[in-house]
Every structure is written in C-alpha cells, then in structure tokens.
C-alpha cells in the first residue's frame, strides 16, 4: 500500500495554528503574522531568482538567504526560552548570519554609482522583484519589532537580520540595474508639465 503525504490535518479549521512549542494560537496572532510575513519575503526572493540568469553569484546568495529565512521563521515560531534540560536547543538566528549580510552589503555596495536621488522600484525585472522582496522584508521587520514589544523573549537577532536583509536587497536591486546605471530615479512632483 502506498503511503501518501498528508497535506491537510483539519486542526486549523478552528482558526488556530500550532507553534514549535506552547499552546495553539489564533491565526491572526502577532507571532503568526511575523513568521508568515517572513515566509512571504522568502517566496518573493524565490520569484526574484527566476530573473538571475546571468548573475549566478547573486542567485547563490539569494538561495542562502532563502535558507536563512527558514531559520528566521523557525525562530519566530518558537516562543519562550529553552528548557536547560532539553536535548536539542531551539533554532535561533545567530549574529554570524547577520554579519554575513553586512559583508555582502559592503562587497556589492563598493562598485555602485553614488546615490543622487531616491530610487523608484523598477529597472530590470530582477531589480523590480528584489524591491518587492525588500518591502515585504521591511514589513516582516516591523511586525517582528511589534512582536518583541509584546513578547520580550523574542530573539532580537531576528530583528537585526531582517533589518540588514532589506538593506542588502536594496543594494542587490542596484547591482541588478547595472550597478545603478539603470536605476529609476525619483523626480519630485512638478505639475507644471502636466497638460490639462
């Protein structure tokens, strides 16, 4: 007899979901919002990778980030502190992961044209996709900050990681735009040119 993978359990039909530990929570709980938004950012990075064809190093970097975002999600799905007697510690985002992002920012930022204006999301398909992932990462960061205010045992490294990731995605969007040559620059409102 072939065993099928079970996709649905019906346990969430009452509007609750399970975490790594602790009681079930309603699906609109701030903790669920936090790791759910991290998952959205991860999906958008996966979508951006469809456009990395001629940039294999960027693709490899985004792949690593996708794996790290699963760590972030696992961290946020695990409330409370570990029992010292626990056989395996909980998966937590570590400073070395944030430091890796900082090194990537420094590396890729070195060759970018200087910023002379704010940048609009756009340019190449990869750049536009990275901007979308960046904005959702910023939202994940905001929600995680809100979670940390409500539940102070939230790992503060998760907030730092998301903050740095959004910075890196901005830098990578400029790399995808020819190191800034194809950036779409913001032009402050000038309605004198608008014809009636």
Within-domain flag for 7: no
Q: What are phi and psi of 100, to 5 degrees?
A: -60, -45
Within-domain flag for 196: no
Within-domain flag for 5: no
Mean pLDDT score, 189-196:
61
Within-domain flag for 120: yes
Mean pLDDT score, 8-20:
60
pLDDT confidence of 111, banded at 50, 70, 90?
very high
The first and second tokens of residue 136, run together, are: 């959702």
Within-domain flag for 13: no
Within-domain flag for 122: yes
132: containing domain: 23-79+93-187
CA distances (Å), 146 to each of 80, 81, 136, 142, 194, in order?
16, 19, 15, 6, 42
**Per-residue pLDDT, 17:** 62
DSSP conformation class of 2: P
Per DSSP, the three-state class of 16 is strand
Instruction: State which of 12-16, 131-135, 180-184 shows the largest mean pLDDT.
Output: 131-135
Q: What is the mean pLDDT of the chain?
A: 88
| CATH number of the domain where residue 36 is located | 1.20.1200.10
* Total length of the chain: 196
This prediction's pTM: 0.88
Residues 112-125 pLDDT 10s: 988 888 999 999 99
Within-domain flag for 6: no
DSSP lists the bridge partners of residue 135 as none
**Per-residue pLDDT, 189:** 82
Tokens 């790992």, residue located: 155
Distance (Å, whole) CA 163 – CA 35: 15
Mean pLDDT score, 12-41:
74
| Residue 109 CB contacts under 8 Å (≥ 6 apart), including other chains | 171
**Per-residue pLDDT, 120:** 92
Within-domain flag for 103: yes
CA distances (Å), 133 to each of 38, 79, 170, in order?
10, 26, 9
Query: Based on the structure, what is the number of domains in the chain?
Result: 1
């Amino acid at each position: 007899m072939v065993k099928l993978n079970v996709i649905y359990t019906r346990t969430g039909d009452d509007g609750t979901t399970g975490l790594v530990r602790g009681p079930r929570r309603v699906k609109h709980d701030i903790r669920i919002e936090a790791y759910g938004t991290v998952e959205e950012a991860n999906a958008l990075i996966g979508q951006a990778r469809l456009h990395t064809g001629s940039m294999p190093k960027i693709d490899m970097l985004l792949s690593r980030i996708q794996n790290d975002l699963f760590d972030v999600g696992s961290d946020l799905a695990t409330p409370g502190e570990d029992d010292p007697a626990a056989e395996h510690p909980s998966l937590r985002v570590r400073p070395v992961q944030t430091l890796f992002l900082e090194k990537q920012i420094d590396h890729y930022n070195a060759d970018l044209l200087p910023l002379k204006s704010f940048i609009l999301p756009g340019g190449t398909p990869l750049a536009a996709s990275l901007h979308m992932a960046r904005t959702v990462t910023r939202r994940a960061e905001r929600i995680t900050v809100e979670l940390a205010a409500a539940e102070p045992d939230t790992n503060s490294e998760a907030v730092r990681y998301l903050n740095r990731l959004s910075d890196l995605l901005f830098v990578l969007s400029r790399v995808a735009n020819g190191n800034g040559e194809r950036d779409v620059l913001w032009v402050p409102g000038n309605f004198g040119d608008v014809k009636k």
